[in-house]
Structure 1
Amino acid sequence: MSLPKKVLISEVAPRDGWQNHPVPIPTETKIKYIKKMVDCGARKMEITSFVNPKYVPQMGDAREVFRGVRSYLEERGVTAFALTLNQKGVENAREAGFTHVEFVLSASEEHNLRNSRRTIQESLDAFKELAANAEGLHIILAMPCVFGSPFGDEVPVDRVKWLIDEAQSVGVAEFGIADTAGISTPENTRRLVKAIREYTDLNKVSLHMHDTYGMGLANCYVAMEEGIAMMDSSLAGMGGCPFVPGAKGNIATEDLVYMLDKMGIETGYDLNKLNQTAAEMAAEIQATVVSAQGAACKHE
């Protein structure tokens, strides 16, 4: 298949990038850098999560952060969404003003138990009930571990198909397929995307790859070849999953934009602004820029 002319990148640093950062990030700092990410070109962003702050304290200011950026995002046509794990989280997100809500349901039984303390079937039942009562909300079903589990349990393609079929039956608007531990290879990614293409419209599927073993951009490339044109990435390559031992590194937004720019694929991002903002943010919140772009810029 031909490559897309344009790719919509979802910036996930404000949630996935910051959620497990060991140094508390002040609310006003989060607000400042979310606005800077928009100025870099972000038009879709995962702003925060409505989860138990006991387990993810960095997200305890979800309402305050969104209150501080909402008008800025709306004025610039940015789609903002929040991650949730249950009905309570969805209602909290709705009350805070979100119209786009992401619900997490892992394709790995073991990961789902660790992440949400439920079996896949229990999470699916809860999700279907939630979706049936989600009038006015754009529901995104995020599916971690569809490319494989870091815990050794099998993740058959038929299970992924079943989850998508069940979600489509209750009117889900969008799916996110994730390589949560960064263990997929281009061959594996191509095989799964081809399979998914047989039973759903790839125009409503986004790709969330991690770069744990350096395969992130290669996986993005083959997914584009198979028809995916929505992808997640994180400024400075920040983030991972706190519930997956050893997992690290979302794909860096600046690396993804560099690759797409060089391929003539439109993203709407300004690469120079991205690199500058990544460096500024990392310095302020005591983080490390792990992108290839960041390393290259140090020697220019």
Structure 2
Amino acid sequence: MSASLDRRLHAYRPDLADIRLKGQVEAEGYAASRPARLIVPVADIRPRPDLAAGIDTQALFGETLAVFDRSGGWAWVQLDADGYVGYLPEEAIADGAGAATHGVSVPRSFVYPGADLRFPRRHALSMGSRVTVTGTAETRGTRYALLEDGSAMIAAHLRPLGEALAADAVAVATLFLNTPYLWGGRSGFGIDCSGLVQMALAQTGKSAPRDSDMQAASLGSLIDRDDLRRGDLVFWKGHAGLAEDANTLLHASGGTMTVTREPLEAAIDRIARLYGPPTCYRRP
């Protein structure tokens, strides 16, 4: 029965499974999840509890997740945002969903120990991270958001949760130009092709699956190449990008190892030599 379920989106293994899957998969035991939140800037999600395993995706600060098991310093989790299942270091999470109020709305922003940009920064957070704002302050004309632990961020770099950054996903994607390509990445510090699509859509208030095959199978509606316009999506086997216009592609490219802008036909010709032509075009 379990062979029909995608392990990326369903928590099951021979010894343990999500209790919601009882009757659909066979396991030695079943567990209800417990809520948790990420407390580090970025955590890699891996297919097994092994630092040598490749990165499937990432979780960002303040994001919530469901925990099914903790063992050997690892937590087996499912991300609330897109349902992805995998392992991350147990020290990266804290119990409880928290009460985040704002999301980071620029590709990267610093967290300071107080409301002064001259203070040494504590760390940086990516777009999509979630924080709890408890107040505001102003220092030398710069307005800061004060966070629950006493730290501060530039207020203009945050938006209330639920408030879209832009109506246009392409405008969001262009903010990531020259960001390094990272397989499995979905942050302003490193991002892959489907991560860029997911992030750009999320900041316009639209949810999207994590991986390119999931996106190609479900996002929006199929269109013809001749109908392509700004904001549409182009998919290859294992790759995705956003149309800036009918002739220009924005994508996290393994060719340049950055988020790049490229003539669409040039991208089609170059990618075809390795992976074939586009498999579909979709309008989200």
Higher fraction of helix:
1
Higher strand share: 2
TM superposition score normalised by structure 2: 0.29
Larger Rg: 2
Larger RCO of the pair (alpha carbons < 8 Å, separation 6+): 1
TM-score w.r.t. length of structure 1: 0.28
